[in-house]
Structure 1
Amino acid sequence: MSAKPAPHLEFAPPPPTGTGRGWAVAGVAHIALFLALGLATAWKTQPQSLQAEAELWSAVPQAAAPRLQAPTPPTPEPKPEPKPEPKPPKPSKPPQPAPEPEPDNKLRDAQIALEKKKLEDQKKKEAAERQRKALEKKKKETEEKEKKEKAAKEKAIKDKVEQEKAALEKKEMEKKKAAEKAEAEEKKRQQEQALKDKKDKEDAARADAMRQENLQRMQGMAGASGGPNATGTALKSSGPSASYAGRLVGRIKPNITFSGDVVGNPRAEVEVRVAPDGAIISRRIVQSSGNMAWDDAVLRAIDKTEILPKDTDGRVPPLIVLGFRPLD
């Protein structure tokens, strides 16, 4: 037995029409929306080279959305009895579209996890890059430090070699100077020895001449030429003649070169040793004039004269003292 339709009130608005069409449009729109969401997220769910598994849990429990069901067709209503047409009712509000379903929480969490993993990988990559740069910087600093240390060592070695070379050169120079000094001293010693030998030889010659003279005097004492009051033992007087000293001074004085000033007319006495042939052997000041410049001028003049003339008897005294005055 079928249910009776609800009685229609006289003043109630007529039932809304087009409800079935609205439910059909809403269902089609939901299906199209789900297809679009599936196509939009299909590229993110395809397999990639990076495989990852994640089990996602929602921080806050959420209830699942109700399953979408096809709308039930409306039951046909019995035709009402004809009645006077009422006033047209106010148009009703159009049906509101059903709210869009929320996207799948698991898909969203998976995307967040992938983004986090990418961010972590990026951070790891940046950390590795920073570490690599730090290692390269440290390696470069180490190489520069080793290079500087090597350069410093090479410089120290070079300086040491130069110092040793300079020390060796200095030592060689000192050795050379010492050898030159020793050679000069040896040469001087040899010269002094030669002079001494010459002097000894001349002294020996004079001594031999004196011995010969004494021998002759002893052998020929009868032929002595001294006066009656003579007390000598020689055949002839051995002293110089009275004018011989004046002759020697006259011979030496032209060689004196003196331009200084003297006070008074001081006398410089010089002892001169002479060889038998008249050659001057040595000379020395026995009494200074008090003016060293005049004394030196006299000595230089005697050295310049070199040989003294013989006396009237044909001999030269071996030792004679001569006096020189600048104003004579």
Structure 2
Amino acid sequence: MHAATDRLEFAPPPPPGLLRSLALAVLAHAFLLAALTWGVHWKSDDISVSAEAELWSAVPQAAAPKLIEAPPEPVVAPVTPKAPIVEPAPKPPPPVRAPEAQPDLPDPAIALEREKLRQKKALDLKKQQELDKQRVEKQRLQQLKEEELQQKKQQLEKQRLQDKRDNDKKAAEEKKKAAQEAQRKEASQAQEDAKKLAIQRKANIERMTGLAGASGAATARGTQLQSSGPSSSYAGRIRARIKPNIVFVDDVDGNPAAEVEVRTAPDGTIISRKLTKSSGVKSWDEAVLRAIDKTEVLPRDVDGRVISPLTISFTPKG
């Protein structure tokens, strides 16, 4: 509908005198037809023309089987009379065609303008199709990107939940281990307390049962059967054992004392020595320590015991 409207809008105006031209054309054709009719003469003559015709079956038919008969008597073929010659009817004259009206040629400027409009519409349609295609592709890419982002979020959420479950499980296991360790420590501490209590009870029983054999004085306030301190002569015996091993030739002012703590084994072998109080003279302190190392074994007391630990004081002029 729109195309027809455009065509009518841009069509050239009809030329003037159209009816007069049609009337003249009809009149000319009438004169021409009358002249042709007057000029045709019908002729007829008595010359007959013979004609023959053969009839063919339109549909193929199968032949019947051949009959075996006695040889027929010779028959004289009849003479076929010739068909009368019929003169063909004359062909009618061809109809006179009216001259066709020349089509109105469109204006070249209008045709060019229409072609430009058509090309512009086609170009606009192509551009619109390209834009629609790009928009659809962009939407598809955006949708793929959103789906990929959603999948990543789901994976991260799943990993976070898995990590949380693992951490909770690990914390529960650590808590369980800590509880078991605390129970084990409590059980171990209870066992140690029970052992200490048993030892203490045994010591109390032994102390209570051995008070009758104590060797202390009437005013003694100890709890052992006998005193554990050294005898009055034990210090002199130790000095007599260590002093020959002291090598000291320096002159010192006064008589400074060096105190040494000595620890021994039950047989008197010196295990360790430690300077607990310095004399103020480093060379004298070192000489005393070297002498103790050289001594190696301390003498026993009158009761056969070796007191340990024992603090001994040494002076250069003592």
TM-score by length of 2: 0.36
